């Protein structure tokens, strides 16, 4: 098979685009164009923006950081220590080594320092599923770190498959509020919120993996040990089956939603207040992160370092 | 395992209801209640309605006819001869034998008589997929037969799995017009249209199969030979996987749509005209069935018995 672009020997087949590419055309043209198109089409950020890239050590977030650096953006990395044993240790090492090799800056924040619990400790309390408390903590701490560091935007490595799996879950449960908010760009709707963007949302998961392999980026292949049996992983498996039967199904599902479906789900116009404990945006008095800190702190018998009773 | 209702030995497990039933409680209580609830909740028809049940000889339509007769409705059957060789012959025999055993009336209409083509002939012209031309012909001829026979309503055997698979397809392609119209009840919106209802839409496919087995209803087990590789069958396979992982997924997807999702897709308010050839409702001048008759008639070199040039 020959490269669709330069006619040399192809290294990667892309059935959904009915194309194949050699290594250079795949990384420097195909994937890079998908990312630049996302950044421009969705007005994610301008050339002078300070971008904080949330990196986990996995293929997606390191591919994203690599792409943004190659494209000349001021992109620092943010690594969140989740406290998931050897998995977290290895992930941190991989992120630090990538940063060192590229001469880039990696900011590290430990969930335990900020929340008073590690993710496994929180999961063990069985108050919420591990992935729910992890996602909630990440969103809060990514935002806090971006705000503290004066960044213009937080970029996450969510790829096409991630977005499609979330969309399928939202549709299967008809979560109309989530459908209204599902977007590759979440603008800041409150002074405490930093804009969030997903520049990889047009790139398929197997394409970010191929990107890392071709660019020689060392990434953590193992999945988080707490993710097993996770519903999103099940949806991804089903969507993979559909995609292999009809290439383009995932793309058409997501872009059909963005272009035709989403307009049917108007924003719910929730009024955001400042959390009485941390000042971050919340539809309640206390944000979900601060509520979790308290509840889980009590359950595990420890208190976060900055813990204090509400209103004190 | 014991029957959830009468505590005798259970014959059928219903994971999505976290229940199990003996044969009698399953057929006479569980399934029957799902159907009576559908008929009443969705105001499908009253006790004196003349119902025309579209029967194919498969488990769903015969279970439906059986249920409606048991419930005391005036329910005649309508068998449409699609001309699909031995499959059609066997299906017709099964429907006629059911009607004779129940002392019920079976109306038979041949597609070839009305359209000038059999479904395999139409499929061979490759103008449209076999399932598309078959669905279009069925909808037209069910309606025509109901109108001619003075029936109040056409009932079809679409079950929960059918409705869920169609919904998934509509969502994957964000067919917002189809989403607006997807319903267990299609009211008549034009004098030429008879109301359509799906009294089995709350009953799962494996439940209609179990119903037929337990009631000793002989039905055609083989799938239509033209349906192989059909997209809806693929969706059903995927939804079965989801359902086995999380019982209730299909029900929640469909009922979430009916209760929360559908309201987001308002009807498109298309104006219906009378088809210049047959008088049936159409958004164009000529209805899709009459257009197909002409186009396929020319392609196969034959003309329907009542064929005449448009406007003649």
pLDDT at B309: 46
Would an 8 Å CB–CB cutoff place A244 in contact with chain B?
Answer: no
Among A4, A28, A2, CA closest to A16: A4
What is the fold of A38-216+227-269? Rossmann fold (3.40.50)
Displacement of CA B50 from its chain's centroid (Å): 17
Judge contact between A21 and A29, C-beta under 8 A: yes
Residue A286 · residue A276 · CB < 8 Å: yes
DSSP A113: H
In this complex, the residue of B171, B173, B261 whose CB is nearest that of residue A176 is: B261
Taking an 8 Å cut-off on Cβ atoms, the answer to whether B176 and A261 are in contact is yes
pLDDT at A224: 85
Structure-block tokens of residue A15:
């059935």
| pLDDT of res. A304 | 52
Please tell me the predicted confidence (pLDDT) of residue A137. 93
Residue A302's pLDDT is what? 59
pLDDT of residue A40: 97
Q: A92, A219 in Cβ contact below 8 A?
A: no
The residue among A249, A257, A264 with the most chain B CBs within 10 A of its CB, best to mutate, is A264
The pLDDT of residue B226 is 85
CB-nearest to B172 from A253, A259, A260 is A253
Interface test with A, best of B167, B168, B172 (most A CBs within 10 A): B172
Average pLDDT over residues A174-199: 96
Phi, psi of B50, deg, nearest 5: -95, 115
Please state the pTM of the whole predicted model: 0.89
Can you identify the CATH homologous superfamily of domain B39-218+226-270?
HUPs (3.40.50.620)
Whether A90 and A228 have beta carbons less than 8 Å apart is answered as no
Residues of A in contact with B259 (CB under 8 A): 174
Whether this model's ipTM surpasses 0.90 comes out as no
Predicted pLDDT at B110: 94
pLDDT of B303 reads: 53
Q: How far is CA A254 from CA A41, A259, B30, B77, in A?
A: 15, 9, 39, 42
Hey, CA dihedral for B127, B128, B129, B130, is it positive or negative? negative
| Angle (deg, nearest 10), helices A249-256 and B160-172 | 80
- Calculate mean pLDDT across residues A172-177: 96
Chain B CB within 8 Å of residue A279 CB: no
Is 90 exceeded by the pLDDT of residue A52? yes
Tell me the average pLDDT of chain A: 93
CB B134 within 8 A of CB B97: no
Looking at chain A, how many residues does it have?
312
Instruction: Name every residue whose Cβ is closer than 8 Å to that of residue B132 and which is 6 or more positions away in sequence.
Output: none
Contact A172 B253 (CB under 8 A): yes
3-state secondary structure chain A: CECCCCCCECCEEEHHHCEEECHHHHHHHHHHHHHHHHHHHCCCCCCCCEEEEEECCCHHHHHHHHHHHHCCCEEEEEEEECCCHHHHHHHHHHHHHHHHHHCCCEEEEEHHHHHCCCHHHHHHCCCCCHHHHHHHHHHHHHHHHHHHHCCCEEECCCCHHHHHHHHHHHHHCCCHHHHHHCCCEECCCCCCCCEEECCCCCCCHHHHHHHHHHHCCCCCCCCCCCCCCCHHHHHHHHHHHHHHHCCCHHHHHHHHHHHHHHHHCCCCCCCCEECCCCCCEECCCCCHHHHHHHHHHHHHCCCCCCCCCCCC
Write down the pLDDT at residue A301.
79
B171 contacts A249? CB cut-off 8 A: no
What angle (nearest 5°) sits at the alpha carbon of residue B219, between those of residues B216 and B224?
160
Predicted confidence (pLDDT) at residue A308 exceeds the cutoff of 90: no
pLDDT at position B302, please?
59
Cα separation, A17 vs A1, in Å, equals 15
Which residues of chain B from 176 to 205 reach within 8 Å of chain A, CB to CB?
176
Distance (Å) of CA A159 to CA A5, A114, A279: 24, 28, 31
* Interchain contact A260–B (C-beta under 8 A): yes
Cα A194 from Cα A273, distance rounded (Å): 15
Contact A257 B172 (CB under 8 A): no
Phi, psi of A55 (to 5 degrees): -115, 135
The domain limits of chain A are: 38-216+227-269
| Best mutation target, A174, A175, A243, to test chain B (most B CBs within 10 A) | A174
Tell whether B249 is within 8 A of chain A (Cβ). Answer: yes
Those residues whose C-beta lies under 8 Å from the C-beta of residue A278, and which sit 6 or more positions away, are A144, A287, A289, A290
pLDDT reported for residue A307: 46
User: Among B173, B234, B252, whose Cβ lies nearest the Cβ of A252?
Assistant: B173
Please, are residues B11 and B214 in contact by the beta-carbon 8 Å criterion?
yes
A245 to chain B: which residues are within 8 Å by CB? Answer: 234
C-alpha of B297 from chain center: 26
Mind listing the pLDDT tens digit of every residue in chain B (312 residues)? 999 999 999 999 999 999 999 999 999 999 999 999 999 999 999 999 999 999 999 999 999 999 999 999 999 999 999 999 989 999 999 999 999 999 999 999 999 999 999 999 988 888 888 888 999 999 999 999 999 999 999 999 999 999 999 999 999 999 999 999 999 999 999 999 999 999 999 999 999 999 999 999 999 998 888 877 778 889 999 999 999 999 999 999 999 999 999 999 998 788 999 999 999 999 999 999 999 999 998 888 755 545 444 444
Q: Report d(CA B28, CA B49) in Å as an integer.
A: 22
| B252: its two tokens | 């929640």
Separation of CA A131 from chain center = 13
Q: Which two tokens stand for residue B116?
A: 């000038």
Give residues with Cβ within 8 angstroms of A31, minimum separation 6: A63, A67, A203, A207, A208, A211
For residue A311, pLDDT over 70 is answered with: no
């Amino acid at each position: 098979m020959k490269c669709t672009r330069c006619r040399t020997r192809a290294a990667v087949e892309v059935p959904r685009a009915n194309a194949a590419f050699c290594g250079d055309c795949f990384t420097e043209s195909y994937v890079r164009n998908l990312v630049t198109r996302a950044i421009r089409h969705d007005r994610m950020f301008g050339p002078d923006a300070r971008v904080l890239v949330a990196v986990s050590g996995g293929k997606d977030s390191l591919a994203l950081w690599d792409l943004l650096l190659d494209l000349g953006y001021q992109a620092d990395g943010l690594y969140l220590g989740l406290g998931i044993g050897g998995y977290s240790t290895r992930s941190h090492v991989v992120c630090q080594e990538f940063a060192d090799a590229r001469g880039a800056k990696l900011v590290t924040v430990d969930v335990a320092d900020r929340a008073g619990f590690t993710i496994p400790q929180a999961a063990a309390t069985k108050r919420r599923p591990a992935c729910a408390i992890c996602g909630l903590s990440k969103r809060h701490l990514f935002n806090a770190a971006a705000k503290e560091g004066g960044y213009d935007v937080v970029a996450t490595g969510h790829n096409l498959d991630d977005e499609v799996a979330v969309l399928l879950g939202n549709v299967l449960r008809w979560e109309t509020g989530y459908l209204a908010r599902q977007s590759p760009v979440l603008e800041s709707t409150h002074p405490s919120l930093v804009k969030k963007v997903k520049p990889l949302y047009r790139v398929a998961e197997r394409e970010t993996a191929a990107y890392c392999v071709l660019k020689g980026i060392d990434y953590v292949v193992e999945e988080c040990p707490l993710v097993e049996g996770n519903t999103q992983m099940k949806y991804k498996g089903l969507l993979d089956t559909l995609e292999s039967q009809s290439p383009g199904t995932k793309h058409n599902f997501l872009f059909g939603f963005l272009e035709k479906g989403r307009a049917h789900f108007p924003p719910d116009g929730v009024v955001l207040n400042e959390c009485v404990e941390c000042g971050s945006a919340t539809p309640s008095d206390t944000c979900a992160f601060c509520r979790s800190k308290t509840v889980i702190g009590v359950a595990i018998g420890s208190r976060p370092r900055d813990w204090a009773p509400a209103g004190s």
